[in-house]
Homo-oligomer: A and B are copies of this chain.
Amino acid sequence: MARSAQPQDKAARRRMAPPMQFGGDLVLWAAWLYYEEGLKQDEIALRLGISRASVFNLLQKARDEGVVTITIDPSRIARADLAMKLHELWGLAECYVLPNEGGDTPLHDRIGRLGARIVEQKIGDEDIIGVAWGRTVLSLSKALSPMQHPGVTVAQLTGSSMATHDFSPEFCTSNIASRLNARCVNLHAPGVLSNAAMKDLLMREPMIEQHFALLRRCTMTLFGVTHLDGPTLLQNSGFMQPSFIEEYRAAGAVGFASGYFFDIEGRIVTTDFDSRHVVMPLEDFRRVPSRICIGGGASKFEAIRGMLRARIATILITDQTTAEALV
């Protein structure tokens, strides 16, 4: 029956009316029949008068365009017991742990994907999201699926650096904003100035003041962590000269997140450099209700622990290895 149907296909197709149904929106049509009504691609092809391969292509398009979305309940991930332990142990509001055994994509991409799912789910219609930068944040931004959030604002948390890499702060924010169809507000200022006086001057600029006023209204922030051993992004990106990092390390700092340095006990570490560093004041930052830190990998363990002790994040997204080390 299925066999003998093959030769009829073409004839049957010709007999059919041109595909004008469902507003001619074949992508939608195919997606509905496949995912909701559970028809086989064959059947859909027959009914729509196209080849099965085309149906396959339509379905792929539907997934790409976000007409159909496949979601994994993030609350279930938060309920997984490693996550629960971290949540209790570190006083986190929420915690998400990426399983170790995964594909062979780089870890930051995998964590980024997990982060994307969580951000998608948490985002509210009128949120103001402060976004820092980093490899994992960028991965997250790329993994976000297209959404309609015209009321959301994505704001740059830190000043910019010379973009020697493909992930500048601006790129992270604009990437996220475009996925969400949200407003993007960049901070048009260097992240590091040549002297303290210049910083003070700049901070009084109306445009900059306005931006920091906006940041104070953030409902959510999103940032990575970095450790300070060896060549990290901080220096590679040209954001900060090695000598300054050395200074912080000398003062005991083990990590950097969202603009702040901290030591192994979670104490904030400051040096002269802070007076030239354009960043949201820590008190303001700590007032943001949801502060999402995303990062993992064995090398970051100390930094993440320090960051947790410093209570910089309220929500942590990390990988299994790091999570296990943290309990």
Closest to A66 in B: B73
Which residues of chain B are near A165, meaning CB under 8 Å?
none
- Please tell me if A103 contacts chain B, counting CB pairs below 8 Å: yes
Which residues of chain B are near A68, meaning CB under 8 Å?
70-73
Minimum C-beta distance from A316 to chain B (A)? 16
- Please tell me if A110 contacts chain B, counting CB pairs below 8 Å: yes
Determine if B100 and A37 form an interchain contact, defined as CB atoms under 8 angstroms apart.
no
Q: Quick one: which of A62-99 are within 8 Å of B by CB?
A: 66-73, 75-77, 79-84, 97, 99
Complex Cα distance A37/B106, Å? 12
- Please tell me if A6 contacts chain B, counting CB pairs below 8 Å: no
Determine if A80 and B23 form an interchain contact, defined as CB atoms under 8 angstroms apart.
yes
Q: Quick one: which of A5-33 are within 8 Å of B by CB?
A: 21-25, 28-29, 31-33
Determine if B22 and A99 form an interchain contact, defined as CB atoms under 8 angstroms apart.
yes
Determine if B23 and A81 form an interchain contact, defined as CB atoms under 8 angstroms apart.
yes
Minimum C-beta distance from A47 to chain B (A)? 4
Given contacts A23-B83, A71-B69, A80-B28, contact A36 B101 (CB under 8 A): no
The 5 lowest CB-CB distance pairs between A and B, nearest first, are A23-B80, A23-B81, A47-B101, A37-B103, A22-B99
